[in-house]
Amino acid sequence: MDATEERAIGVRGCLIRTLGDVVFRVYDNEHNFVDYEITNHDCEVVIIDPDAALIRNEAGDFLDYTDESMQITK
């Protein structure tokens, strides 16, 4: 496979935790995806997920789901 490069600015994807790593997953219009290994040391990220929360407590500091988003209603 020939190497390709495209600027990542503006590319929308998800940070995915796998068994051993965190990858940047980018989907195309047909629901196919590419998982990019993260080797950039200081890439700026903006969280746009409305169900994400920064949580600080006695157990540590976490990027997790909001309590509200985890509520189950029937």
Report how far apart, in Å, the C-alpha atoms of 6 and of each of 9, 10, 11, 56, 61 are.
9, 11, 10, 37, 34
pLDDT at 70: 83
Residue 69 tokens read as 């988003």
pLDDT at 74 over 70: no
Comparing CA positions, the residue from 21, 13, 17, 24 lying closest to residue 48 is 13
3-46 pLDDT, tens digit per residue, is 999 999 999 999 999 998 999 999 999 999 999 999 999 999 99
Residue for token pair 């746009």? 48
Contacts of 50 (CB under 8 A, 6+ apart): 69
